[in-house]
A and B are shown apart, each in its own frame.
Chain A
Amino acid sequence: MHSISRRDEMSLAEPAALPVATSAAPRLHVLKRVLGRFKASLPAYLLLLPSLIFLALFTYGAMGRVLVDALYQRASPKAPVRFVGFENISAVLADPAFTGAVVNNLIYTVGTAVPSIALALLFALALSRTNVVTSALRAALFLPVLIPMVAASALFLFIFLPNVGLLDYYIGRLLPVLPNWLGDPDIALYAIMIITIWKNAGYYMLFFLAGLQAVPEDVMEAAHLDGAGPYRRLRHIILPELKPTFLFVTVIATLNAVTQVDHVFVMTQGGPSNATNLVLFYIYQQAVEHYDIGKASAATLLTLAALMTLTALSFRTLANREGGP
């Protein structure tokens, strides 16, 4: 009993001395370890530095500037900036040109993504086997992907030209009234969509072709033996296997629908009466034509937020694709 209590006393006494000894040494130790780790990491940091500088300037810095710029406004182009809080954002949200552009962009996104993905799937299924003929057809469908959107627009400007253009010359004759493809506010947005579908379907086809390679051969063979027809093979074997491809292509198609607006510049300038105005073109107009950096930044901020929410949902897919850190 006695000895135990003495031992207790001793062990109780020890902690009083401990704090000095234990806390000083590990702290020094931790610092040393951090320093050592940093020293060991230094070559890697130096290698990453050039990339990080440009990412900091043009990606993360740019994000920060959008945030700040969206909170300030000038009374006139020459006046000094003053803090206005959320005024720019509410001004943008109240601007019918912006809400119109958002609605247009939503229609445009669905109206380009769905048909181009459907066509891409059709092309990939039809051309999945490799021979001279399918390679030539793949190349033909892929050609529009390569050319600048501006060049595609220059060609389609003539295709849609009223009366003498390609479309009216060959197809227009079948219609009772010739539509003014780019001049009619009810049609112009759909005309613009046709270019995008023409330009992107071949690109998405590549991903489906790659995805089809992953469909297991033996499962397909089993399906053949069981007498599953083409529709049932597509519905129950191929489409489930292509699910990741669908997700990935949908994200790219959505990003394209927001970021690819060159044809709007060349063909319609957002008109007639804002019928083809898309969000990025609105941002450009605010910044370059109206010198309204506050409103342009607010619109950028809203678009970024919307896109980032969308891509965050697919972030895991993206991270998996890159193989993780």
Chain B
Amino acid sequence: MKLIDTLWKDAPLATRGEITPKLGFALTVLLAMVWLIPFLWMGVATLRPASDGINAMAELMPSLKPTLDNVRDAWEIGDFPRYTLNTTIICTGILLVQFVTITLAGFAFARLDFAGKTPIFYLFLMQLMLVPVLLIVPNLSLVAQLGLYDTLTGVMMPFFASAFGTFLMRQAFEAIPTELEDAALIDGAGLIQRIRHIYVPLSMPSFSAFAIISVTSHWNDFLWPLMVINSPDKRPLTVGLSVFTKTAEGTQAWGTIAAGTLMVIAPLLVAFLIFQKRFISSFVTSGIK
């Protein structure tokens, strides 16, 4: 009761006696706990020794004899180091190219006046509606025609341009006072120099927000790499995990599956716990990616 009182101490006086908001809060607390159960199980099952048997697998109470055997098994059977490397290459590659394309395009929309600005703006906006995921079939044949089937470059290419990133940078650049640019203009700085030395350094928060969205979404991408990649040694984490799960499911090695899943999501979870506020505010701006 006291806890509830402290939580409600900043609520308007007139509403403090109301029951409904407190019931809603209680329900939310309950659901938040339910929401965490899969994660809890993942942690407990990862550390549970195989000797506990399949019937104890669902037990949410941690085992008294925790072991790292499952982690070792997953690491060895699943080839996770290789998958992690591939995913890292994919996410970094996409992000670096995107930084260039969205900075240039964002600047053009923010500060330059040019013929056809409105139609080109809508051309970009259309990409947000078109949902690139749906275009897997034609994009796969294009990637194959370009000779990029079964390459990491093929996985990255469709994401090199980002309408969402362009709009984000446009917004950031528009907020920068033109006086700064004028000063640089007098000093004889060229267009690219002005972008590099004035606009980019002043827009770091937007870049990091975009980086969070871009990396999380491509870290989690599954369907597209599944179609493009054929060789086992080029699989990203998600495809690797799905293959690994298929194999381990047959042998009922649920502890190993839990350990493998933990390895796939650990980097994102750690990053989230450290930069929680950043993540949340970036996701709010994301909406449609």
Mark each residue of chain B from 19 to 44: 1 if its CB lies under 8 Å from any CB of chain A, else 0.
Answer: 01100110111011101111101100
> Within the complex, which residue of A146, A166, A210 is in contact with B216, where a contact is CB–CB below 8 Å?
A146
A26 interfacial by beta-carbon distance below 8 Å:
no
A246 interfacial by beta-carbon distance below 8 Å:
no
Please indicate which of the listed interface residues A69, A131, A154, A324 has the most CB atoms of chain B within 10 Å of its own CB.
A154
B105 interfacial by beta-carbon distance below 8 Å:
yes
> Within the complex, which residue of A50, A141, A169 is in contact with B161, where a contact is CB–CB below 8 Å?
A50
Residues of B near A227 (CB, < 8 A) are: 14
Please indicate which of the listed interface residues A69, A126, A135, A307 has the most CB atoms of chain B within 10 Å of its own CB.
A126
* B44 → A minimal CB distance (Å): 10
Q: Are A154 and B129 in contact (CB under 8 A)?
A: no
B184 interfacial by beta-carbon distance below 8 Å:
no
Residues of B near A43 (CB, < 8 A) are: 108, 112, 191
* B81 → A minimal CB distance (Å): 17
Given contacts A62-B142, A169-B59, A207-B284, A51 and B105 within 8 Å (CB-CB): yes
Please indicate which of the listed interface residues A119, A144, A147, A209 has the most CB atoms of chain B within 10 Å of its own CB.
A147
Number of cross-chain contacts by CB at 8 Å: 311
A297 interfacial by beta-carbon distance below 8 Å:
yes
Given contacts A54-B157, A59-B132, A148-B219, A206 and B142 within 8 Å (CB-CB): no
Residue in B closest to A41 when the chains form the complex, CB atoms: B114
Q: Which residues of chain B from 189 to 248 have any CB-CB distance to chain A below 8 Å in the complex? A: 191, 216, 219-223, 226-227, 237-239, 241-242, 245
Q: Are A155 and B264 in contact (CB under 8 A)?
A: no
B80 interfacial by beta-carbon distance below 8 Å:
no
Q: Are B157 and A58 in contact (CB under 8 A)?
A: yes
Residue in B closest to A145 when the chains form the complex, CB atoms: B283
A149 interfacial by beta-carbon distance below 8 Å:
yes
Q: Are B242 and A266 in contact (CB under 8 A)?
A: yes
Q: Are A255 and B39 in contact (CB under 8 A)?
A: no
Q: Are A65 and B142 in contact (CB under 8 A)?
A: yes
Q: Which residues of chain B from 70 to 87 have any CB-CB distance to chain A below 8 Å in the complex? A: none
Q: Are A50 and B237 in contact (CB under 8 A)?
A: no
B280 interfacial by beta-carbon distance below 8 Å:
yes
- For chain B, the bracket of interface size reads 35 or more
Residues of B near A168 (CB, < 8 A) are: 58
B288 interfacial by beta-carbon distance below 8 Å:
yes
Q: Are B122 and A151 in contact (CB under 8 A)?
A: no
A280 interfacial by beta-carbon distance below 8 Å:
yes
A303 interfacial by beta-carbon distance below 8 Å:
yes
Given contacts A126-B25, A140-B36, A61 and B102 within 8 Å (CB-CB): no
Residues of A near B142 (CB, < 8 A) are: 57-58, 61-62, 65
Bound-state CA distance A323–B141 (Å) is 36
Residues of B near A261 (CB, < 8 A) are: 223
Q: Are B32 and A284 in contact (CB under 8 A)?
A: no
Given contacts A65-B141, A202-B35, A133 and B7 within 8 Å (CB-CB): yes
A157 interfacial by beta-carbon distance below 8 Å:
yes
Residues of A near B7 (CB, < 8 A) are: 129, 131, 133-134
20 A-B residue pairings within 8 Å (CB atoms):
A41-B116, A43-B108, A44-B114, A65-B142, A137-B29, A139-B276, A140-B32, A141-B35, A142-B272, A147-B220, A158-B45, A158-B58, A164-B54, A169-B59, A229-B20, A259-B134, A262-B222, A265-B226, A283-B134, A315-B125
